[in-house]
């Protein structure tokens, strides 16, 4: 393809055409840049350099494996692998044979799970498979290690469902039944459960389905309340971030992303005669939850936990042998917002939550921005939320570290990035930049992509191809096309780079071994299978 063709060709019109045919960003079928003869341009070839610039990482593991593991066997790939010079922005998984630009720092020690189990207590986590990594990996300080005394019960989310709007109830009933079984087991001192529906459905522009999801969670909450009351447990109801309580932008467009609203904290100590009389602080943040739980258990709070207990009176003394049993219930994505307009939690029928909120001690917890280690004014997310619930302290997230590296210039000197680029240039191979195109996604930002493009321009890289993953989470309609145009404009301004693939993140960022989705992405990136766009 000539330089003039590269400058004039845009994939944005093809994305808008897909919108017109009923597709949306999240599940957009792959769109491929081709030359005048219809041959795919910019495919990933053996020996090329690849930088996967996403952050978070848990949804990026499968695609990285498919591209880098020579023994990969989940679907047919190039015999012996592609032998790519591959770098990732952060560590997605220690087992991956890639360079890591921003390696993990020391393990986050003395998390809630670690402190509870080290004290000899049994802790059980219950979640749907859709949220298992958050309740396991992130709640344990971004560690996959299960401590002695920790049990993880993973309830399968509905299988074979392309869109959870078809099953907004998901498997909340399975979570309820698992909680009931563990509550009846007197050996379980702490139960941490997650109801995933509101967050998962909140990312789908389907109001009736979202309302059903909210009501399914409320029904499950009612059953779990009855279970906790019968067993004499201390029930804490909270959330990791908000979503559908602010369903509309000011201009009336639907907001399918997370929010900057606080989340609820309700304390129902059913082991006390008058649980409604307990005194708690009326404001806090997610990092206060772990110290609160430890206080209720009569366990000392480690020095690393800088959060504070929300309980002002009634907690047992440290070492009290009559410690309580605690059930911490996370209503994933359930934010608190007073305004009723565009508030689907307020619009849904939620008698169980409303009853608890009115009757028992309650607080609002900050779950966004600096309170969860994010830049000021940014929305929360499930990663940051569960991390801070478990850590009991503010933890600076990767996005902030990377942004600071861009500001101080150390990003441009990063050995992982420069090494891939310089070796790729020396081999005369192509450089591929792969990742989310968004300013607001928890998986990454265009700011990081643009910094990589500037590096490539400075190193006079000649063949730089961009493979854009799109998904409307917290974005306005047609955001995929809009961001693709932004990237294309930046490529023209810098004189380097070309967008050659656009595909919905549903296909690329799986985390439950739906290998058919990853295969579709791999075949688009490597084989050029998708809707062709030619000059």
d(CA 519, CA 509): 11
Find how far residue 313's CA is from the centre of its chain: 35
Q: Is 286 helix (H, G, I), strand (E, B) or coil?
A: helix
CB 190 within 8 A of CB 298: no
CB atoms within 10 A of CB 40: 20
Find how far residue 482's CA is from the centre of its chain: 23
pLDDT along the chain (535 residues), means of 10: 58 96 92 96 97 92 96 92 96 94 87 97 97 94 92 94 90 98 95 97 94 98 98 97 94 90 97 89 98 95 96 69 86 97 97 98 96 90 96 92 94 97 97 92 90 97 97 76 96 97 95 94 98 95
Cα 527 to Cα 43, 294, 305, 353, 521: the distances in Å are: 7, 53, 50, 50, 10
H or E element: which one contains 446? helix 446-458
Q: What is the longest distance spanned by two Cα atoms in the chain?
A: 79
Q: Which residues contact 95 (CB under 8 A, 6 or more apart)?
A: none
HEC string of 186-242 equals CCCCEEEEEECHHHHHHCCCCHHHHHHHHHHHHHHHHHHHHHHHHHCCEEEEECCCC
Task: Tell how strand 362-366 and strand 263-269 pair up.
Answer: antiparallel
Q: Would you state the pLDDT for residue 274? A: 87
Q: Which residues contact 480 (CB under 8 A, 6 or more apart)?
A: 15, 25, 28, 437, 468, 470, 471, 472, 502, 504
183 closest CA partner among 194, 192, 174: 192
Q: Does domain 3-103+400-533 have CATH number 1.20.1540?
A: no
Q: Would you state the pLDDT for residue 91? A: 94
Q: Would you state the pLDDT for residue 88? A: 98
| Structure token pair of residue 165 | 């709007």
HSE value, Cβ hemisphere, 13 Å, CA-based, for 202:
33
Task: Tell how strand 49-52 and strand 431-436 pair up.
Answer: parallel
Give the CA angle between residues 294, 286, 126 to the nearest 5°: 70
Q: Would you state the pLDDT for residue 297? A: 95
CB 241 within 8 A of CB 131: no
495 closest CA partner among 534, 523, 458, 526: 458
Q: Would you state the pLDDT for residue 306? A: 96
Q: Is 90 helix (H, G, I), strand (E, B) or coil?
A: strand
Q: DSSP readout, 297-360?
A: HTPPPPTT-----SEEE-PPPTT-TTPPPEEEEEETT----S--TT-HHHHS--HHHHHHHHHS
Which residue shows structure tokens 């590269």?
A: 6
| Structure token pair of residue 443 | 């998986």
CB 327 within 8 A of CB 236: yes
User: Residue 40: beta bridge partners?
Assistant: 34
d(CA 432, CA 85): 10
Q: Would you state the pLDDT for residue 8? A: 62
Length reported for the chain = 535
Which residue shows structure tokens 């690849």?
A: 50
Q: Does domain 112-394 have CATH number 1.20.1730.10?
A: no
Domain spans, the chain = 3-103+400-533, 112-394
Cβ-count burial of 492 within 10 angstroms (0-12 exposed, 13-18 middle, 19+ buried)? middle
Torsion angle, alpha carbons of 113, 114, 120, 121, to 10: -10
CB 367 within 8 A of CB 239: yes
Cβ-count burial of 376 within 10 angstroms (0-12 exposed, 13-18 middle, 19+ buried)? exposed
CB atoms within 10 A of CB 302: 18
């Amino acid at each position: 393809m000539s330089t003039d063709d590269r400058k004039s060709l845009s994939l944005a019109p093809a994305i808008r055409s897909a919108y017109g045919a009923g597709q949306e960003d999240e599940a957009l079928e792959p769109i491929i840049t081709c030359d005048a003869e219809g041959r795919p341009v910019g495919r990933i070839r053996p020996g090329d350099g690849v930088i996967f610039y996403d952050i978070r990482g848990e949804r990026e593991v499968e695609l990285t494996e498919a591209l880098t593991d020579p023994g990969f066997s989940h679907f047919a790939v190039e015999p012996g692998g592609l032998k790519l010079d591959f770098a990732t922005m952060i560590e997605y998984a220690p087992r991956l044979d890639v360079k890591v630009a921003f390696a993990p720092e020391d393990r986050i020690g003395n998390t809630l799970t670690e402190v509870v189990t080290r004290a000899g207590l049994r802790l059980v986590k219950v979640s749907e498979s859709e949220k298992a990594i958050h309740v396991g990996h992130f709640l344990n300080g971004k560690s996959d290690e299960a401590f002695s005394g920790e049990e993880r019960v993973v309830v399968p989310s509905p299988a074979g469902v392309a869109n959870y709007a078809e099953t907004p109830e998901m498997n909340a009933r399975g979570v309820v039944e698992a909680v009931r079984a563990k509550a009846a087991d007197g050996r379980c001192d702490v139960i941490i459960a997650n109801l995933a529906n509101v967050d998962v459905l909140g990312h789908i522009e389907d109001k009736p389905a979202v309302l059903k999801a909210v009501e399914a969670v409320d029904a499950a909450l009612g059953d779990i309340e009855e279970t906790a009351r019968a067993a004499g447990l201390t029930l804490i109801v909270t959330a990791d971030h908000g979503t559908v309580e602010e369903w509309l932008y000011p201009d009336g467009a639907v907001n399918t992303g997370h929010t900057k609203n606080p989340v609820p904290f309700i304390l129902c100590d059913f082991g006390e005669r008058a649980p409604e009389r307990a005194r708690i602080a009326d404001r806090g943040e997610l990092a206060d939850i772990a110290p609160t739980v430890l206080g209720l258990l009569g366990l000392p709070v480690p020095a690393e936990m800088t959060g504070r207990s929300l309980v002002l009176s009634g907690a047992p003394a440290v070492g009290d042998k009559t410690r309580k049993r605690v059930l911490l219930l996370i209503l994933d994505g359930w934010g608190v917002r007073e305004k009723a307009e565009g508030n689907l939690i307020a619009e849904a029928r939620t008698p169980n939550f409303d009853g608890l909120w009115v009757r028992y001690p309650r607080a609002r917890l900050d779950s966004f921005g600096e309170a969860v280690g994010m830049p000021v004014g940014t929305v929360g997310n499930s990663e940051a939320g569960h991390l801070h619930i478990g850590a009991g302290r503010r933890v600076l997230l990767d996005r902030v570290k990377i942004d600071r590296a861009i500001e101080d210039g150390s990003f441009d000197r990063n050995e992982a990035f420069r090494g891939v680029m310089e070796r790729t240039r020396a081999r005369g191979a192509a450089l591929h930049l792969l990742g989310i195109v968004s300013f607001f996604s928890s998986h990454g930002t265009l700011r990081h992509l643009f910094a990589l493009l500037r590096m490539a321009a400075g190193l006079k890289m000649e063949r730089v191809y961009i493979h854009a993953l799109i998904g409307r989470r917290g974005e306005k309609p047609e955001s995929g096309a809009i961001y693709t145009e932004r990237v294309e404009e930046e490529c023209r301004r810098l004189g380097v780079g070309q967008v050659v693939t656009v595909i919905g993140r549903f296909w690329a960022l799986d985390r439950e071994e739906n290998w058919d989705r990853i295969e579709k992405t791999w075949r688009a990136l490597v084989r050029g299978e998708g809707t062709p766009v030619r000059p």
